[in-house]
């Protein structure tokens, strides 16, 4: 389940505003199964999203993405979202995305270079996001090595398993 | 340079035993890990990661707390089945602190049973874990994979947050205002002004604030995006913990020359009653701007406002008054302990005589579990959040207010300035 931070990602953009909440991403109070969640994720912001989203699409959003509860963005991974790029992420959503892991990138200027439906290229190795049509770029924030290591291990659960095996083997 | 509370906390718990500063990443020793009704999701994560028989151990049987809170009593067959599995796992792992036959909100039960103490680092699989900061604990919400790691090793990674100081000035009126303070802050500075930061509450109002009010303020730290939201420990902290814990504790005290990225001063004497309009916590206006908005439902409860003082003010104001005809006024104590206190002091009798409904302690009223709203309905609630769909229909409108404002609306049948309904204030 790990993903390679060094592999570039290109996809069609779904653009959202500020303070998109985890109740909307993951309305599990109303829909208890993953199959149902996939049909309703983010509909409170954009009713057409769950109907029209395609695997490989990218979410671009404003500040405080994923505010609210500790619930993860697993459903976004399940519907095939390739990456999330935000001006800022809610602390717990960011921590969840690292732990899952789910590609998430912080780019405070992202809203300025890309419109809904346009194609975005993400190159974490060069810490750049690029609007494919216009060529405009903004910087992606680099993660500290601890966080890169969790991403590369395949998330916190795999990280925990690896440590447990190493400790019990000795 | 001196240290903030968060820097003191994470220096004290740093496995490398070195002082840390804002921005550093540390592996920290934790003092407690709270797990609520979603434990089976964590169990399944462990199985997927290769622990085919589930968790091989917990790091400390006295420091992993299991509470089946949101889902007690079981709300559906699938929940009942998961709860049964949680009981089996808790027994197999030898978890000693397990509240499975008691309704209530985990966060209030952690406070009731003295499981979070000053100076401790406590994590929990729920965003409102941050509320234990009311007792000077460094507490914060973590994710399910993080909890898996924490349960196995008693350690977790943290980035040391920068800190914002909130100076509270003025006089505590004869009714709770903690909710109004947090809504006011979110309205003025934005719903993420403390993103990833540690909030330190200080100032001349703090000694006047009850533990209930402090718990409301700390709990709502997450609604302004904070990692920690801590109060200093004082006589009220000690008095609250007396009889709840016999373990010693060492409070955190910030240094006078600690560095803060921001200082915000709130004079509560100058603060109006405020409400958050649908559908965000930061969508705040003075209550007078929305007065006359008719309501179908009013609520008091949750880990933010289900405490004794929140229910006491409702009962006090309802004395000699009735809930408006057709308005459903739901009051849900945060825990059995709170419920019992309300019962012994006659508050429950007053609520029922005045036409309110008392709901079993738990998270239900803050979510679409108890008291769903239909399309077009309007609710004003002293609970944690008002996101679209939080109470069922995406076409319902949810306003947030303090318990006094909610009670005034319940009596008037519409949103109103409490001073226009309760002339004795």
Question: Using one digit for the tens of pLDDT, what is the confidence trace for A106-152?
Answer: 999 999 999 999 999 999 999 999 999 999 999 999 999 999 999 99
Chain B residues touching A20 at Cβ < 8 A: none
Residue B271 lies in a domain: no
Instruction: With beta carbons less than 8 A apart as the criterion, state whether B300 and B331 touch.
Output: yes
pLDDT at A2: 55
How many residue pairs from chains A and B have C-beta atoms closer than 8 A?
112
What is the complex's ipTM, to 2 decimals?
A: 0.96
Structural domain includes residue B59: yes
The reply to whether B296 and B250 lie within a common domain is no
Q: Enumerate the H helices of B94-143 as residue ranges.
A: 106-112
Residues B161, B60, single domain; the answer is yes
Distance, in Å, from the CA atom of A76 to the CA atom of A72, rounded to the nearest integer, reads 9
- pLDDT for B255-300, tens place per residue? 999 999 999 999 999 999 999 999 999 999 999 999 999 999 999 9
Would B101 be classed as within a structural domain? yes
Q: Which residue has the higher pLDDT, A2 or A156?
A: A156
Residue B128 domain-assigned?
Answer: yes
Among B231, B248, B266, where does a domain finish? B266
What is the rounded distance in angstroms from the CA atom of residue B184 to the CA atom of residue B1?
Answer: 32
Which strand ranges, in their side-by-side order, compose the sheet holding B357-358? B284-286, B274-276, B397-400, B378-382, B297-300, B328-331, B357-358
Dihedral sign, CA of A123, A129, A131, A135?
Answer: negative
B151 and B281 in a single domain? The answer is no
Nearest Cα residue to B338 out of B372, B370, B377, B301: B301
Chain A residues with CB inside 8 Å of B199's CB?
none
Residues B117 and B143 in one domain: yes
Residues of chain A in contact with residue B145, where contact means CB-CB under 8 angstroms, are 99-100, 155-157, 160
Do A23 and B153 lie within an 8 Å CB cutoff? no
3-state helix, strand, coil in chain B (%, to 5): 35, 20, 45
Q: Which residue among B25, B56, B145 sits closest to A157, beta carbon to beta carbon? A: B145
- Answer whether B385 sits within 8 Å of A161, measured CB to CB: no
* Pair (B324, B414) in one structural domain: yes
B50/A161 touch (CB, cutoff 8 Å), yes or no: yes
Do B253 and B282 belong to one domain?
A: no
Task: Give the nearest partner residue to B145 out of A44, A63, A99, using CB atoms.
Answer: A99
User: Do B290 and B371 fall within a single domain?
Assistant: yes
For the whole model, what pTM was predicted?
Answer: 0.97
Note whether B262 and B323 are same-domain residues.
no
How much is the pLDDT for B282? 98
Residue A6 is predicted with a pLDDT of 83
Residue B135 CA to residue B129 CA, distance in Å, equals 12
Among B231, B266, B301, identify where a domain stops: B266
Does the beta-carbon distance from B49 to A67 stay under 8 Å? no
What is chain B's mean pLDDT, rounded?
Answer: 97
CA B45 remoteness from chain centre: 26
Predicted pLDDT at A1: 43
Query: How confident is the model at residue A29, as a pLDDT?
Result: 79
B129 occurs within a structural domain: yes
In this structure, the answer to whether residues B356 and B387 fall within a common structural domain is yes
User: Which pLDDT tens digit goes with each residue over A31-49?
Assistant: 889 999 999 999 999 999 9
Q: Is residue B162 part of a domain?
A: yes
Is a pLDDT exceeding 50 seen at residue A53? yes
Which of residues B239, B266, B293 is at a domain's end? Answer: B266
Q: Kindly report, residue by residue over B43-72, the tens digit of the pLDDT.
A: 999 999 999 999 999 999 999 999 987 778
| Domain shared by B246 and B292, yes or no | no
Domain with residue B349: its CATH number is 3.30.499.10
Beta-sheet pairing, A9-15 with A119-123: antiparallel
Which one of B53, B147, B192 makes the best mutation probe of the A interface by having the most chain A beta carbons within 10 Å? B192
Nearest to B144 by CA among A100, A33, A139: A100
Question: Is position B212 within any domain?
Answer: yes
The total of structural domains in chain B comes to 2
Domain of B252, in residue numbers? 5-16+25-266
What average pLDDT score do residues A52-79 get?
Answer: 96
Q: Alpha-carbon torsion A29, B225, B387, A42, what sign?
A: negative
Partners of A64 on chain B (C-beta within 8 Å) are 191-192, 195, 225
Shortest distance between the Cα of B395 and any Cα of chain A, in A, equals 10
- The CA distance from B269 to B280, in Å, is 25
Is B388 close to A44, i.e. CB distance below 8 A? yes
Q: Are residues B94 and B146 in the same domain?
A: yes
Q: How confident is the model at residue B8 (pLDDT cuts 50, 70, 90)?
A: very high
Neighboring chain A residues of B146 at a CB cutoff of 8 Å:
95, 99, 156
Looking at the fold, whether B319 and B238 belong to one and the same domain comes out as no
Asked if A33 has any chain B CB less than 8 Å from its own CB, the reply is: no
Domains defined for chain A, CATH in brackets: 9-169 (3.20.19.10)
Strand order in the sheet with A119-123: A104-106, A83-86, A58-61, A9-15, A119-123, A128-131, A137-139
Give the pLDDT confidence score for residue A28 in this predicted structure: 83
A170 at B interface, C-beta within 8 A: no
Instruction: Please list every residue in chain B whose beta carbon sits closer than 8 Å to the beta carbon of residue A100.
Output: 145
CA geometry: angle A69, A73, A77, nearest 5 deg: 175
**pLDDT value at position A66?**
97
For B84-101, write each residue's pLDDT tens digit.
999 999 999 999 999 999
Per-residue pLDDT band for A170 (boundaries 50, 70, 90) equals: confident
Using the predicted structure, report yes or no on whether residue B171 has a pLDDT greater than 80: yes
């Amino acid at each position: 389940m790990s993903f390679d931070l060094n592999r570039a990602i290109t996809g069609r953009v779904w653009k959202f505003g500020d303070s998109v909440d985890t109740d909307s991403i993951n309305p599990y109070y109303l829909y208890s199964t993953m199959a149902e969640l996939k049909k309703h994720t983010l509909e409170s912001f954009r009713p057409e999203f769950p109907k029209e989203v395609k695997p490989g699409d990218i979410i671009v959003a404003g500040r405080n993405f994923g505010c609210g509860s500790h619930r993860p963005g697993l459903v976004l991974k399940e519907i095939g979202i390739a990456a999330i790029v935000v001006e800022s992420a809610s602390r717990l959503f960011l921590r969840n995305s690292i732990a899952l892991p789910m590609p998430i990138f912080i780019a405070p200027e992202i809203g300025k270079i890309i419109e809904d439906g346009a194609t975005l290229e993400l190159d974490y190795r060069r810490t750049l996001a690029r609007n494919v049509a216009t060529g405009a770029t903004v910087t992606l924030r680099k993660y500290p090595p601890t966080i890169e290591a969790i991403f590369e291990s395949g998330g916190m659960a795999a990280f925990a398993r690896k440590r447990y095996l190493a400790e019990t083997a000795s | 340079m001196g240290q903030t509370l968060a820097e003191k906390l994470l220096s004290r718990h740093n496995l490398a035993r070195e002082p840390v500063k804002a921005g550093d990443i540390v592996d920290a020793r934790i003092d407690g890990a709270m797990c609520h009704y979603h434990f089976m999701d964590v169990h399944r994560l462990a199985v997927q990661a290769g622990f085919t028989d589930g968790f091989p151990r917990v790091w400390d049987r006295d420091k992993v707390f299991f509470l089946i809170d949101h889902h007690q009593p079981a709300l559906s067959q699938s929940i009942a089945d998961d709860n049964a599995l949680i009981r089996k796992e808790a027994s197999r792992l030898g978890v000693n602190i397990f509240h499975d036959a008691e309704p209530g909100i985990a966060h209030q039960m952690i406070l009731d049973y003295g499981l979070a103490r000053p100076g401790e680092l406590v994590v929990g699989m729920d965003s409102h874990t941050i509320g234990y900061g009311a007792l000077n604990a460094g507490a914060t919400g973590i994710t399910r994979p993080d909890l898996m790691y924490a349960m196995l090793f008693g350690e977790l990674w943290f980035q040391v947050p920068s800190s914002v100081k909130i100076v509270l000035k003025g006089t505590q009126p004869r009714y709770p205002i903690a909710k109004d303070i947090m809504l006011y802050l979110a309205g003025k500075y934005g719903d993420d002004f403390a993103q990833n930061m540690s909030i330190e509450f200080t100032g001349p109002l703090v000694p006047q604030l009850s533990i209930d009010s402090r718990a409301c303020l700390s709990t709502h730290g997450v609604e302004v995006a904070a990692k920690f939201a801590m109060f200093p420990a004082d006589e009220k902290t000690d008095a609250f913990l007396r009889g709840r814990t016999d373990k010693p504790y060492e409070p955190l005290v910030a240094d006078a020359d600690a560095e803060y990225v921001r200082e915000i001063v709130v004079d509560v004497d100058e603060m109006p009653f405020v409400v958050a309009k649908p559908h965000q916590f930061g969508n705040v206006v003075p209550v007078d701007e929305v007065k006359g908005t008719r309501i179908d439902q009013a609520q008091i409860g949750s880990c933010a406002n289900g405490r004794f003082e929140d229910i006491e003010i409702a009962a006090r104001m309802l004395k000699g008054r009735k809930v408006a005809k057709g308005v459903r006024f739901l009051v849900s104590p945060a825990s059995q302990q709170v419920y019992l206190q309300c019962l012994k002091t006659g508050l429950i009798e007053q609520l029922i005589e005045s036409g309110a409904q008392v709901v079993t302690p738990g998270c239900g009223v803050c979510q679409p579990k108890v008291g769903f709203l239909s399309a077009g309905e309007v609710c004003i609630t002293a609970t944690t959040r008002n996101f679209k769909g939080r109470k069922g229909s995406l076409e319902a409108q949810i306003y947030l207010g303090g318990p006094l404002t909610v009670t005034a609306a319940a009596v008037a049948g519409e949103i109103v300035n409490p001073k226009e309904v309760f002339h004795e204030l």
